[in-house]
Amino acid sequence: MFLQAANAKTMQIAYFDLAPHTSDQDNKGPIIDYFKSVLKKANLHNYEIKKYPLSRLLKELKNNELDMAIFLGKNPEREKYLEFSEIPIFKTQAGILVPKKFSQDKIFLNKELKNKKICFWKDGYIPSYLKEKNEKDTCKLSGNNIVPRAIQMLIHQRANVFYSPDISTLHYSIKQDKIAQQKLKVLALEDEFIMLYPAFSKNASVKWKAKIEAALLELSNKAPYTVAN
């Protein structure tokens, strides 16, 4: 029994910076605490949770160096090398950050923003109309602190728009910067709602996916995940 315990694999769990769901402190934040409750309900206790830049997180999941990510959006490319939970951990709405002088509040990006320079996460979830934009009209941000860096780019007019699949991170981040509050605003993208799911590497999914899905379903039915902006 002791040999079996000693040889038990520690599950390697990853997430990327997405305030207010995550915190500046490692392994802290509402989504981290909620997922720890899921793990407890699944009777999984041997794990490590670490923050990664999104691009590195995806690369290490693809190479089976990480076992899972707490939340990711689905797209066809990711589904080639990841196994997504059938149960989402939360639903969000996409939004954009733009200068306050931006006049159109009800917008469709493929029309109104055709000639605007748009920034977004490198390797992040983006809709098809952004993939079709000319490379010179986009900027892909990598590393950590993506949203605060994007805010500075907009303030200093190095970009026109920042797209986020999660609008709450835009509302939260702009509240942390007084200059941003004066110069920028957040616009919701109507009808663009996105489910975020726990996602597993191919190897890890066989061992842990079913347990975590069942625990997440039970917990989300009783106490769905929520976060204040």
Reported as a single tens digit per residue, the pLDDT across 22-69 is 998 888 899 999 999 999 999 999 999 999 999 999 999 999 999 999
Predicted confidence band of residue 3 (pLDDT cuts 50, 70, 90): very low
pLDDT for position 140: 93
Given the candidates 1.20.140.10, 3.40.190.10, 3.40.462.10, 3.30.1540.20, the CATH classification of the domain at 2-90+195-222 is 3.40.190.10
Q: Which residues pair with 13 in a beta bridge?
A: 49, 68
Q: What single string gives the DSSP state of each residue in 117-182?
A: -EEEETT----HHHHTS-GGGEEEE-SS-HHHHHHHHHHTTS-SEEEES-HHHHHHHHHT-HHHHH
User: Per-residue pLDDT averaged across 71-84, rounded?
Assistant: 95
Q: Which superfamily, per CATH, for 92-193?
A: Periplasmic binding protein-like II (3.40.190.10)
CA distance 81 to 41: 27
Long-range contacts, 214-222 (Cβ 8 Å, 24+): 214/42, 215/38, 215/39, 215/41, 215/42, 216/38, 216/85, 216/87, 216/89, 217/87, 218/41, 219/34, 219/37, 219/38, 219/41, 220/87, 220/89
Q: What is the pLDDT of residues 144-189, one digit of tens each?
A: 899 999 999 999 999 999 999 999 999 999 999 999 999 999 998 8
In this structure, what token pair is assigned to residue 102? 């931006």
Show me where the domains of the chain are located: 2-90+195-222, 92-193
Match 């997430």 to its residue by tokens.
15
103 residue type, one letter:
S
Average pLDDT over residues 138-144: 91
pLDDT at 105: 54
This prediction has a pTM of 0.89
Separation CA 202–CA 211 (nearest Å): 15
Buried b (16+ CB within 10 A) or exposed e, 116-126: bbbbbbebbbb
Q: What's the pLDDT score for residue 179?
A: 96
* pLDDT attached to residue 109: 52
- Give me 193's structure tokens: 């709602």
